[in-house]
Structure 1
Amino acid sequence: MTGSIITEVLLPLALAFIMFGMGLSLTRFDFLRLWQTPAPIVAGFVGQIIALPLLAFGICVAMDLSTPMAVGLMILAACPGGTTSNVVSHLAKANLALSVSLTAISSIVCVLTAPFVIQFSLSHFANSANGAPIDVSLSSISLGLLVITLLPIVFGMLARSYFRDWAIKVEVYFRRFALVFLLLMIIGVVIKEHAIIVEAFNEVFIACLLLNFGAMFIGVISAKLLALSHKDTLTLAIEIGLQNSTMAMLICISLLQAPSYAVVAGVYSLTMYAGAGLLIAYASYIRSDKHTAVQAQTRDSR
């Protein structure tokens, strides 16, 4: 009974709370950028919604991942970028406005796209494996994502529009809660699925790194093809490369009732910081190199 209350009530409520906090950081101007700067928005959207699931599927097939690992990786790829990507964009001094816009848009659109990716991965990997097939309703997944992600974001945006000062003041606490909750989720998954993690850690670790770095590469290539600025290139790499692992774990545990699928998201929650750290370090190096060049040019002009 306790487990049921936790997985069916408390965990979804916690995610809804986090998404409400994301809504507090959004305004209608974040969506107006769709028309003002469409190229990076479209590139990020295509990268997250289309290219990333295809990349995950390729990794699953190439590595011949076990059913829980393959389905878990596909679910992770179906999820949008989370608030972590916005924090990393801020630290890397990327285009924060673009980052927030992409996070908001992908969080909304994933309510429509993620159920199809999840149903495909279950039918392809789980139902073809030994054991009873898993029958999950597409409508139930869509409804669940609508209730725990989209509606809280909308309510958060409404609260921001009517109580702006309060929203700005408390939004940081929602971010802190999101971090603490993610850590608790990781600990919970590690404890519950310890045997699977020990047995398949190398497999999962490599798959997560490939997804992380492959997704960042997609972001960089997309930006280069569109001749975007360095800031926008960095932002796309971050947004496509960092997924909302908290949402992925919640989908596995609460909507699918399959904690073993959440192992990938738990491991990814740790490995994604490797890519994020490299991006931040690279951005810092580029800034310092440009600063040195400007100083040298100034001395020469004198």
Structure 2
Amino acid sequence: MGSALTTIGLPVALGIIMLGLGLSLTPRDFGRIAKHPKAVIIALICQLLVLPAICFALVVLFDLPAVLAVGMLLLAASPGGTTANLYSHLFRGDVALNVTLTALNSVIAVFTLPLITNLAISYFLPGDDGLGLQLQKTVEVFAIVLLPVVVGMLVRWWKPSFADRMDRPVRIASVIILIVVIAGAIVANLDLLVENVGRLAGITVVFCLVSLTIGYLAPRALRVDRRQSIASSFEIGIHNATLAIVIAQTVVGSVEMSLPAAVYGVLMFFVALGFGFLIRGSRAERAAVDAARGTAGAADDAADDDRSQAAAPR
């Protein structure tokens, strides 16, 4: 994965993805934090504090080799991916909240991702001084994550009609480039991936499932409405695996460290899809849960179902 295809192609693909995110953002999206502070705060606590702790416990439980353990923590520290918006839309979550959380997490990750990665390296690889994210490498993370988003937002502010026209082509281009780059990386490093996929499949599936579950149940337990809880679930459960791969390979310089994100990036689509159908549940089950909590959520959920059935194709 250390070829020019990945050292150049992966950052370019990620840059286009983040540019696409910026083209869809306005300052109003950040202002939405004040409108739904409770949902945002709960999601951020889960994302920034709870998940890294759970990931650390899973790494110890599965007894991963040190480099792979750091790769898992790097993945846990990565913000939600833009794919979360799609899943939230499919399962009737609050997509506007997803956009807000993705934007906010991407900004915060510039500081938290190097911190968590360095802590993981110092714990699991204490003798490897060359692997840490020093100031220069942290600036690289900033450039990879934020600059394309800022450029996209400036384009939307300057030429909103152009941004609207470019939204779909940029999304398509980013997907195509990403598929080509990842396919090339897999072919070039097939032996290494096959050697480690067995030990990584279990922990990545468990981590994804736990992330999705916490992202949904924590807001619900604290009386956040169902649509926002669905948005939180996918935002927390679907990490930006591409970002983790880029940082591991091009910033830290470790191919093996990127393997957890590579395996996760494939399996998460199936896990998230199954989880989405699971949390749809039945109207009666959700009404019983809401009644037991003494909230008014049952009526809202029933209304959601009625609207869903009315909108469903016959």
The residue that corresponds to 1:35 in the other structure is: 34
Measure how far apart 1:255 and its partner are.
Answer: 0.6
- Residue of structure 2 aligned with 1:190, choices 186, 198, 202: 186
Measure how far apart 1:113 and its partner are.
Answer: 0.6
Inter-CA distance 294–137: structure 2 relative to 1 (3 Å threshold) = closer
What is the 5 A alignment of 1:234-253?
234-253=230-249
Measure how far apart 1:46 and its partner are.
Answer: 1.1
Q: Is the 8 A contact 1:205 1:268 kept in 2?
A: yes
- Residue of structure 2 aligned with 1:152, choices 148, 155, 158: 148
* Count of residue pairs brought into register by the alignment: 291
Measure how far apart 1:192 and its partner are.
Answer: 3.3
Bigger shift: residues 185-194 or 50-59: 185-194
Inter-CA distance 292–251: structure 2 relative to 1 (3 Å threshold) = closer
SS in 1 for 2:153: helix
Inter-CA distance 29–201: structure 2 relative to 1 (3 Å threshold) = same
2:198 is the counterpart of 1:199: no
Amino acid at match of 2:93: A
What is the 5 A alignment of 1:1-302?
5-127=4-126, 133-282=129-278, 286=282, 290=302
SS in 1 for 2:130: coil
Q: How does the TM-score come out when normalised to structure 1?
A: 0.88
Amino acid at match of 1:14: A
Q: Is the 8 A contact 1:83 1:175 kept in 2?
A: no
What's the C-alpha RMSD, in Å, of the aligned pairs?
Answer: 2.5
Instruction: Output one character per residue of 1:99-129: Cα deviation in whole Å (capped at 9) or x when no partner.
Output: 000000001110011001111112222336x
In 2: Cα distance, 1:70 partner to 1:123 partner: 12
In 1: Cα distance, 2:283 partner to 2:135 partner: 48
In 2: Cα distance, 1:159 partner to 1:63 partner: 46
Amino acid at match of 2:88: S
In 1: Cα distance, 2:44 partner to 2:216 partner: 14
In 1: Cα distance, 2:155 partner to 2:103 partner: 16
Tell me, which stretches of 5 or more residues in structure 2 are unaligned? Answer: 286-301, 308-314
SS in 1 for 2:64: coil
In 2: Cα distance, 1:89 partner to 1:188 partner: 30
Measure how far apart 1:282 and its partner are.
Answer: 3.5
SS in 2 for 1:93: coil
Q: Is the 8 A contact 1:189 1:259 kept in 2?
A: no
Inter-CA distance 47–247: structure 2 relative to 1 (3 Å threshold) = same
Q: How does the TM-score come out when normalised to structure 2?
A: 0.85
